[in-house]
């Protein structure tokens, strides 16, 4: 069952913003910092990287945020645990980070394809009730495709799903390239989990095209007896839901040939630091901010309830 994302509630001002830290200072980390800066619900209290000369640390310094090149060690050394820690490193690093952060009781939002924590796709799972303290956002391709795959599987007898995502080479950073196998395995696992379809393939293309290719994802499905009107009726409302937190998300084409259905998606970035074609980074970061904002809102409600007793 698809759950409505309460963006208004997530972005509501809270009495005390949630304290957050960001680990990772690549393109994802830089965009996260900008999005956190715009959020009234989140207070960035540390940006941790490993390269003291990284552009991400310089970007954070422009906002006046504390920065460090000591990585996870600096997060652990903080006087009080952070309410939220965003991990924008890579899957292998996240395994070590989670083992260190789990005892602290903080909410960890994992932007790597580690498959460690609870998988979240906002319009499918909701973000309000979590079963653990580790939220895994799967992958950029997963965030783009799973809302559509889930909608199709809810409406039709889907027998096969193939998801093909294309990202521009210059926004596929070191972490993405290190995690290609994990990306494919985690995305495929998540599609199966949220669609119920066992025959699934996930593909990621890194395009060197000039000018750079805008992030796009094609969801291919085998659906006996499908027609394009019914497919659009299933997909369009879901796309509108995703746009409530990732406004660059769009269905660009929908075709049905025999039993082969293709839904073409494109995501443009709405970011202070990312180029518009970097929608792959924007959609996963937008989901991450939404998770953190709703966590802050829940904390605020709990604090008000306790104060009223």
Distance CA 167, CA 256 (A): 25
Is the distance from CB of 273 to CB of 37 less than 8 angstroms?
no
185, two tokens: 């395995």
229, two tokens: 């009107």
Distance CA 60, CA 42 (A): 15
Residue 205, beta-bridge partner list: 166
DSSP line for 33-68:
HHHHHH-TTEEEEEEE-S-TT-HHHHHHHHTT--EE
Is the distance from CB of 83 to CB of 19 less than 8 angstroms?
yes
254 is catalytic: no
Nearest partner of 195 among 236, 149, 148, 242, judged by Cα: 149
- The catalytic residue among 14, 23, 91, 140 is 140
Q: Could you count the other beta carbons within 10 Å of the beta carbon of residue 270?
A: 15
Sign of CA pseudo-dihedral 91, 97, 99, 103 = negative
Is the distance from CB of 156 to CB of 150 less than 8 angstroms?
no
- Opening angle at CA 13, ends 10 and 18, nearest 5: 75
Distant-in-sequence, close-in-space partners of 240: CB < 8 Å, separation ≥ 6: none
297, two tokens: 């809102």
Is the distance from CB of 127 to CB of 291 less than 8 angstroms?
yes
Residues designated as active site: 140
């Amino acid at each position: 069952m698809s759950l409505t994302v309460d963006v208004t509630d997530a972005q509501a001002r809270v009495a005390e913003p949630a304290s957050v830290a960001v680990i990772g200072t690549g393109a994802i980390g830089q965009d996260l910092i900008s999005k956190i800066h715009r959020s009234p619900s989140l207070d960035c209290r540390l940006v941790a990287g490993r390269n003291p000369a990284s552009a991400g640390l310089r970007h954070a310094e422009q906002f006046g945020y504390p920065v460090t090149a000591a990585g996870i060690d600096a997060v652990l050394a903080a006087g009080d645990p952070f309410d939220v820690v965003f991990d924008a490193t890579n899957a292998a690093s996240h395994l070590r980070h989670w083992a260190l952060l789990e005892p602290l009781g903080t909410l960890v939002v994992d932007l790597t394809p580690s498959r460690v924590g609870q998988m979240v796709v906002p319009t499918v799972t909701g973000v309000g009730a979590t079963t653990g303290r580790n939220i895994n956002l799967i992958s950029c391709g997963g965030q783009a495709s799973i809302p559509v795959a889930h909608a199709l599987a809810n409406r039709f007898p889907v027998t096969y799903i193939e998801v093909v995502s294309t990202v521009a080479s210059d926004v596929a950073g070191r972490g993405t390239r290190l995690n290609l196998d994990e990306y494919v395995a985690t995305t495929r696992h998540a599609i199966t989990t949220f669609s119920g379809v066992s025959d699934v393939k996930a593909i990621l293309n890194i395009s060197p095209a000039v000018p750079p290719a805008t992030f796009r994802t094609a969801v291919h499905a085998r659906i006996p007896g499908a027609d394009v009107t019914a497919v659009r009726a299933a997909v369009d409302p879901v796309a509108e839901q995703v746009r409530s937190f990732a406004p660059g998300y769009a269905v660009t084409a929908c075709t049905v040939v025999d039993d082969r259905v293709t839904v073409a998606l494109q995501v443009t970035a709405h970011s202070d630091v990312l180029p518009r074609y970097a929608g792959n980074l924007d959609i996963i970061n937008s989901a991450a901010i939404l998770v953190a904002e709703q966590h802050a809102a829940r904390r605020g409600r709990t604090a008000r309830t306790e104060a009223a007793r």
